[in-house]
């Protein structure tokens, strides 16, 4: 269903609630909230046509700060509640604010099934690789060996990589962004809303108290340009301070090259296409890791049109109703196996 | 008809079809009960099937039964059988204990060979002697052989032919009860309308079964069951699960809301999902969720968006939904949770019946979390109870748990198709009911404490809710101690005041007796019959049966205080008795508790009541 646009233009303040924002000073959540406000202005969504749902955790406080409909639910179940809202009222723009613990640990099942069904909701997955609200336990996105209050000797388990889960669940939209990168992040949020189906946006978010600088090696302005690549639809995959580095195909793998070196030219550099149904390349791009010398992919990695669950539910009802004269319970019962006592 | 045949006029009769779970006993049973209902009998049925879909053939664990009581004043599916159809030795053995003296047993002699007897753990080749069935009248018929012979001209494989043997058995039963088979013919033709050859085969076998009985001059009691004058109108057979689904649809229609179901398959509740998912014609939206928790959570989301939202489950599923139901209590959203109780704990006895989830329904959440609890009393009462559950949820903006049980969910009765005009209105307590101009998420009716519900998407009413405690006045998050106390009290009082909106409790039986029998939920039929039997004798009893459990009807205390002795009969270890004792001090309560996965039997009840009155 088309997002409802109204002629009266909305400003940031129209999306802000009157509640005092209680996140820690310096928390990445502030920036995410700001990006969401900006995206809504760009989309000119009617505040009453927006529902922001959340589970439990620091990021899940976000609905309280939106002047829209908001529902702060229970741990891990936000995706299921959001699914219910969207199926009941497909005309609403439905967002889920969630974290790595909320969606990938306790709510993992709801997360993958929402993605599999392709319900038209936008999942903002704030990944700070820590449990903040319970004060510093490791999360399912922490690297092996991560030391935390609940892993004093380091974890002995490997993390989930959100794109693998999302694409493994047949995700049709996956994007990644950085909390403090307001300009790109707000555009990516708007892209997520425009996509019909479940949009998963992984946000590298900093927890200033319990896991400060966890993404620093990637997002610090000093080297962000060299360690990230902003993927843009239809554009060459080039990056770097001097925009002289590129991603090329190397057999079944990817390779990072410097344009003009080793015989590589701009011609060899891949062009990003988020819309291919085959997700092989999207997964490869999404799994590029600076530890292996690759830049981390930022931007909309995958964006494919497919049937949306909420629309299909409505369509099926319309189809059945167009072929039946039954309009009420009485109609239904009277056409069944009945007998009359006279 | 031969003069050897003795025709017995009876008020009520109990019949049990029993065989392997693949023998088609459920179909024979259903057809016979529908036929009886059409002929003006009251019916109550009880399918009793194994948890396994196809247990090993011929073994005791694979026996599937369909019991019914047919007659003039039928409140339940009956105790011991007057007639047993046993398609194999295992079926005979499993049901031997539940036979009346002089009852009739129809067996298929083709499946009583030595090997068949061994499979059912018989030690000898004389099964009737071994089971001490000495007074019973045995009708031994080579049903399988006769079925095959009936179909010798049919172009069907042997397996399909053999499968028709349940119709031969049904034909025999129709003869035994002097039932015209043309009505069954019509039902069969409808059932197999897409496979005319199967319809024809079934009809042929049915007729041959009937004629076999007619022509064999068997010395056996044949029955004529009294019928009663039913109220004029259109009728259908309905089981409790289907009636529950219809009640929810009726409530959606009456309230003008979209019906939404979020559910995960679980025995014995799944048939509600099956029915509602078919009802796209009536615009019902259904999500088969990824788990029980998602079932209730999608429903809570739909409620936030303004639907009549429902989730259906059984005991283990209710346990999983506990936290989310607490969210609906805290956020104050309307929600209907249907729990079709089964044997527990844990996986327990998935296909058997119990009333052991009462305390889970009342208290199975963290925090002080009061909720409305209703319990349906019979298959047809599931309709009214589901309607009431929806009405109270929508008018008081609260979650409601509707308890039914495996017995009434699968049991069927004839049901007069209701006229919804005669049902009370349902006016959802939405912002449309609010006349003030200063609405916020916490605004409530100060007499009922029901919050004014604003569906997501409504212009001018954007708001945030959640599971955190909130301020009584503003609805903003609050950890203030006095406010929390006030909110706890408000939530409690909101549920308590619903007592002003439900029917008063009534007393049946001999109201002036010294002893009051109390039941609740699906045991109504057995208790009612037991009470009527008692009152025909010298030991009189009064009887009151609860449908509204939380809150209790206003006059409950007045009723309880009138009696010298109160017997609370329930299929658990005293959950309702304990609940009553908690609300009213020093009640002279005696408990009757059976937790064996089976419905009560009337004779056990009357024995206990008699002993208690004498004692």
Does residue A228 carry a pLDDT above 60? yes
pLDDT band with cut points at 50, 70 and 90 for residue A1: very low
Query: What is d(CA B34, CA B179) in angstroms, rounded to the nearest whole number?
Result: 12
The verdict on a CB contact (< 8 Å) between A51 and B291 is no
The verdict on a CB contact (< 8 Å) between B246 and A67 is no
In the structure encoding, which two tokens stand for residue B26, read together? 């459920």
Supply the pLDDT for residue B227: 65
Tell me how many domains chain B contains.
Answer: 3
Supply the pLDDT for residue B187: 84
- What ipTM was estimated for this complex? 0.96
Q: Mind listing the pLDDT tens digit for each residue in A286-331?
A: 999 999 999 999 999 999 999 999 999 999 999 999 999 999 999 9
The verdict on a CB contact (< 8 Å) between B457 and A89 is yes
Tell me which chain A residues have a C-beta less than 8 angstroms from the C-beta of B293. 77, 80, 110
Write out residues 259-318 of A within 8 Å (CB-CB) of B. 313, 316-317
Tell me which chain B residues have a C-beta less than 8 angstroms from the C-beta of A61. none
| B161 shares a domain with B187 | yes
Q: Mind listing the pLDDT tens digit for each residue in B165-180?
A: 999 999 999 988 888 8
| B341 shares a domain with B289 | yes
Residue A296 to chain B, least CA–CA distance (Å): 33
- State mean pLDDT over A136-153: 97
Q: How many CB atoms lie within 10 A of CB B273?
A: 23
Tell me which chain B residues have a C-beta less than 8 angstroms from the C-beta of A67. 462
pLDDT band with cut points at 50, 70 and 90 for residue B556: very high
Q: Mind listing the pLDDT tens digit for each residue in B455-465?
A: 999 999 999 99
Query: What is d(CA A140, CA A58) in angstroms, rounded to the nearest whole number?
Result: 16
Nearest to B82 by CA among B36, B137, B130: B137
Instruction: List the single residue in B with minimal CA-CA distance to A72.
Output: B466
Last residue of a domain, one of B502, B523, B546: B502
- State mean pLDDT over B533-552: 96
- Give a yes or no: residue A321 inside a domain: no
Q: Mind listing the pLDDT tens digit for each residue in B198-223?
A: 999 999 999 999 999 888 766 677 67
Return the residue matching tokens 């609405």.
B439
Does residue B4 carry a pLDDT above 50? no
Supply the pLDDT for residue B47: 86
With a CB cutoff of 8 Å and minimum separation 6, the contacts of A128 are A28, A58, A99, A100, A139, A205, A206, A207, A211, A214
| B221 shares a domain with B332 | no
Last residue of a domain, one of B198, B225, B252: B225
pLDDT band with cut points at 50, 70 and 90 for residue B79: confident
3-state secondary structure of A218: helix
| B530 shares a domain with B458 | no
pLDDT band with cut points at 50, 70 and 90 for residue A152: very high
3-state secondary structure of A97: strand
Query: What is d(CA A268, CA A283) in angstroms, rounded to the nearest whole number?
Result: 20
Q: What is the mean pLDDT of chain A?
A: 95
B324 at interface of A, judged by CB pairs closer than 8 A: yes
| B148 shares a domain with B277 | no
Does residue B238 carry a pLDDT above 80? yes
Nearest to B335 by CA among B259, B404, B282: B259
Query: What is d(CA A294, CA B478) in angstroms, rounded to the nearest whole number?
Result: 47
| B516 shares a domain with B441 | no
Domain limits for position B83: 6-225
Q: Mind listing the pLDDT tens digit for each residue in B452-499?
A: 999 999 999 999 999 999 999 999 999 999 999 999 999 999 999 999
- Give a yes or no: residue B333 inside a domain: yes
- Give a yes or no: residue B80 inside a domain: yes
Q: How many interchain CB pairs under 8 A, A with B?
A: 197
The verdict on a CB contact (< 8 Å) between A87 and B302 is yes
Does residue B589 carry a pLDDT above 80? yes
Does residue A284 carry a pLDDT above 60? yes
Tell me which chain B residues have a C-beta less than 8 angstroms from the C-beta of A91. 457
Q: Which of A48, A85, A324 sits opposite B304 (nearest CB)?
A: A85
- Give a yes or no: residue A340 inside a domain: no
pLDDT band with cut points at 50, 70 and 90 for residue B7: low
| B259 shares a domain with B207 | no
Supply the pLDDT for residue B176: 87
Write out residues 161-220 of B within 8 Å (CB-CB) of A. 187, 190
pLDDT band with cut points at 50, 70 and 90 for residue B3: very low
| B323 shares a domain with B214 | no
Q: Where are the beta strands (DSSP E) in A17-155?
A: 50-54, 69-72, 93-99, 121-127
pLDDT band with cut points at 50, 70 and 90 for residue B228: low
Instruction: List the single residue in B with minimal CA-CA distance to A328.
Output: B282
Supply the pLDDT for residue A341: 81
- Give a yes or no: residue A328 inside a domain: no
Tell me how many domains chain A contains.
Answer: 1
Does residue B505 carry a pLDDT above 50? yes
B235 at interface of A, judged by CB pairs closer than 8 A: yes
- Give a yes or no: residue A59 inside a domain: yes
A144 at interface of B, judged by CB pairs closer than 8 A: no
In the structure encoding, which two tokens stand for residue A267, read together? 């011609």
- Give a yes or no: residue B1 inside a domain: no
Packing angle between helix A78-88 and helix B292-304, nearest 10 degrees? 50
* CATH number where B462 lies: 3.40.50.970
* CATH number where A74 lies: 3.40.50.970
Does residue A224 carry a pLDDT above 70? yes
- Give a yes or no: residue A161 inside a domain: yes
- Give a yes or no: residue A44 inside a domain: yes
The verdict on a CB contact (< 8 Å) between B293 and A77 is yes
Query: What is d(CA B404, CA B353) in angstroms, rounded to the nearest whole number?
Result: 10
Q: Mind listing the pLDDT tens digit for each residue in A262-283?
A: 999 999 999 999 999 999 999 9
* CATH number where B519 lies: 3.40.50.920
Last residue of a domain, one of B458, B473, B502: B502
The verdict on a CB contact (< 8 Å) between B301 and A53 is yes
Supply the pLDDT for residue A5: 52
Asked whether the beta carbons of B497 and B395 are under 8 A apart, the reply is no
B247 at interface of A, judged by CB pairs closer than 8 A: no
B577 at interface of A, judged by CB pairs closer than 8 A: no
A3 at interface of B, judged by CB pairs closer than 8 A: no
Supply the pLDDT for residue B1: 32
Does residue A35 carry a pLDDT above 70? yes
| B307 shares a domain with B211 | no
Supply the pLDDT for residue B2: 35
| B18 shares a domain with B52 | yes
Q: Which of B302, B324, B326 sits opposite A88 (nearest CB)?
A: B302
Euclidean distance between the first and the last CA atom of chain B, given in angstroms as a whole number: 51
Q: What is the mean pLDDT of chain B?
A: 93
* CATH number where B205 lies: 3.40.920.10
- Give a yes or no: residue A204 inside a domain: yes
Supply the pLDDT for residue B218: 66
Residue B299 to chain A, least CA–CA distance (Å): 6
Domain limits for position A174: 12-214+305-310
Asked whether the beta carbons of B565 and B538 are under 8 A apart, the reply is no
Run of H or E including B132:
none
- Give a yes or no: residue A139 inside a domain: yes
- Give a yes or no: residue B560 inside a domain: yes
Write out residues 110-139 of B within 8 Å (CB-CB) of A. none
| B242 shares a domain with B204 | no
Mutate to test the interface with A, among B296, B466, B476 (most CBs of A within 10 A): B466
Instruction: Tell me: cis bond preceding B41? Omega within 30 of 0 counts.
Output: no
């Amino acid at each position: 269903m088309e997002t409802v646009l109204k002629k009266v233009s909305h400003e940031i303040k129209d999306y802000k609630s009157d509640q005092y924002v209680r996140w820690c000073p310096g928390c990445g959540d502030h920036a995410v909230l700001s990006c969401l406000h900006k995206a809504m202005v760009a989309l000119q969504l009617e505040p009453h046509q927006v529902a922001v749902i959340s589970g439990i955790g620091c990021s899940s406080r976000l609905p309280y700060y939106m002047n829209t409909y908001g529902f702060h639910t229970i741990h891990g179940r936000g995706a299921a509640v959001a699914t219910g809202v969207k199926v009941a009222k497909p005309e609403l723009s439905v967002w889920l604010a969630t974290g790595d613990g909320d969606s990938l640990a306790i709510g993992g099942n709801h997360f993958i099934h929402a993605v599999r069904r392709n319900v038209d909701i936008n999942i903002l997955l704030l990944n700070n690789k820590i449990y903040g609200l319970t004060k510093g336990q490791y999360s399912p996105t922490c690297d092996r060996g991560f030391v935390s209050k609940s892993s004093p000797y380091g974890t002995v388990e490997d993390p989930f990589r959100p794109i693998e889960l999302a694409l493994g669940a047949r995700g049709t939209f996956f994007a990644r962004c950085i909390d403090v990168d307001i300009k790109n992040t707000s555009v990516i949020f708007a892209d997520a809303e425009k996509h019909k189906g479940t949009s998963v946006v992984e946000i590298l978010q900093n927890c200033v108290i319990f896991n400060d600088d966890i993404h620093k090696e990637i997002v610090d302005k000093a080297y962000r340009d060299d360690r990230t690549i902003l993927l843009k639809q239809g554009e060459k995959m080039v990056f770097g301070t001097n925009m002289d580095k590129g991603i090329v195909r190397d057999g079944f793998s990817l390779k990072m090259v410097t344009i003009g070196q080793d015989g590589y030219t701009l011609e060899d550099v891949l062009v990003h296409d988020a819309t291919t149904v085959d997700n092989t390349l999207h997964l490869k791009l999404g799994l590029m890791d600076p530890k292996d010398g690759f830049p981390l992919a930022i931007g909309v990695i995958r964006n494919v049109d497919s049937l949306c669950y909420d629309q299909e539910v409505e369509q099926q009802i319309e189809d059945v109703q167009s072929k039946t004269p039954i309009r009420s319970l009485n109609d239904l019962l009277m056409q069944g196996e009945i007998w009359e006592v006279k | 008809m031969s003069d050897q045949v003795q025709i017995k006029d009876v008020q009520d009769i109990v019949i049990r079809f029993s065989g392997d779970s693949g023998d088609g006993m459920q179909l024979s049973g259903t057809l016979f009960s529908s036929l009886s209902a059409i002929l003006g009998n009251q019916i109550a049925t009880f399918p009793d099937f194994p948890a396994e879909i196809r247990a090993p053939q011929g073994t005791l664990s694979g026996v599937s039964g369909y019991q019914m009581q047919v007659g003039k004043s039928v409140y339940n599916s009956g105790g011991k059988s007057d007639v047993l159809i046993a398609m194999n030795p295992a079926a005979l053995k499993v049901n031997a204990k539940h036979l009346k003296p002089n009852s009739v047993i129809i067996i298929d002699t083709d499946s009583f060979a030595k090997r068949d007897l061994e499979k059912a753990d018989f030690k000898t080749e004389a099964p009737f002697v071994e089971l001490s069935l000495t007074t019973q009248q045995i009708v031994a018929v080579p049903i399988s052989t006769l079925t095959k012979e009936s179909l010798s001209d049919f172009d069907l494989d042997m397996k399909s032919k053999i499968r028709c043997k349940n119709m031969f058995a049904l034909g025999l039963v129709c003869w035994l009860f002097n039932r015209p088979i043309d009505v069954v013919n019509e039902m069969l033709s409808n059932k197999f309308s897409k496979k005319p050859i199967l319809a024809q085969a079934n009809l042929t076998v049915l007729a041959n079964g009937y004629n076999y009985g007619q022509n064999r001059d068997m010395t056996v009691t044949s029955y004529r069951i009294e019928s009663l004058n039913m109220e004029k109108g259109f009728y259908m057979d309905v089981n409790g699960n289907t009636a529950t689904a219809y009640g929810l649809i009726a409530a959606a229609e009456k309230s003008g809301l979209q019906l939404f179901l979020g559910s995960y398959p679980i025995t014995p509740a799944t048939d509600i999902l099956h029915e509602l998912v078919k009802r796209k014609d009536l615009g019902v939206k259904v999500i088969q969720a990824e788990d029980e928790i998602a079932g209730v959570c999608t429903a809570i989301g739909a409620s936030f968006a303004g639907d009549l939202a429902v989730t259906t489950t059984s005991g283990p599923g209710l346990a999983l939904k506990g936290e989310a139901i607490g969210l609906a209590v805290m956020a104050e959203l309307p929600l209907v949770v249907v729990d079709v109780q089964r044997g527990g704990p844990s996986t327990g006895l998935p296909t058997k019946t119990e009333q052991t989830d009462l305390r889970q329904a009342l208290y199975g959440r963290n925090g002080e979390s009061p909720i409305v609890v209703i319990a349906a009393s019979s298959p047809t009462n599931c309709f009214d109870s589901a309607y009431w559950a929806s009405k109270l949820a929508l008018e008081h903006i609260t979650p409601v748990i509707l308890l039914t049980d495996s017995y009434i969910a699968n049991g069927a009765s004839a049901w007069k198709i209701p006229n919804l005009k005669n049902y009370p209105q349902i006016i959802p307590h939405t912002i449309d009911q609010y006349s003030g101009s200063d609405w916020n998420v916490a605004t409530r009716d100060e007499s009922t404490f029901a919050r004014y519900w604003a569906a997501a998407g409504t212009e001018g009413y954007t708001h945030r809710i959640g599971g955190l405690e909130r301020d009584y006045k503003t609805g903003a998050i609050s950890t203030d101690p006095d406010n929390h106390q006030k909110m706890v009290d408000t939530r409690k009082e909101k549920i308590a005041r619903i007592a002003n909106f439900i029917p008063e409790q009534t007393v049946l039986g001999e109201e002036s007796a010294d002893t009051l029998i109390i039941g609740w939920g699906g045991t109504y039929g057995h208790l009612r019959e037991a009470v009527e039997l008692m009152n025909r004798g010298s030991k009189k009893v009064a009887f009151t049966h609860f449908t509204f459990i939380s809150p209790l009807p206003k006059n409950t205390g007045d009723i309880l205080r009138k009696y010298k002795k109160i017997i609370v009969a329930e299929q658990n270890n005293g959950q309702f008795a304990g609940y009553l004792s908690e609300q009213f001090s020093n009640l002279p309560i005696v408990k009757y508790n059976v937790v064996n996965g089976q419905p009560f039997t009337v004779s056990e009840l009357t024995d206990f009541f008699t002993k208690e009155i004498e004692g």
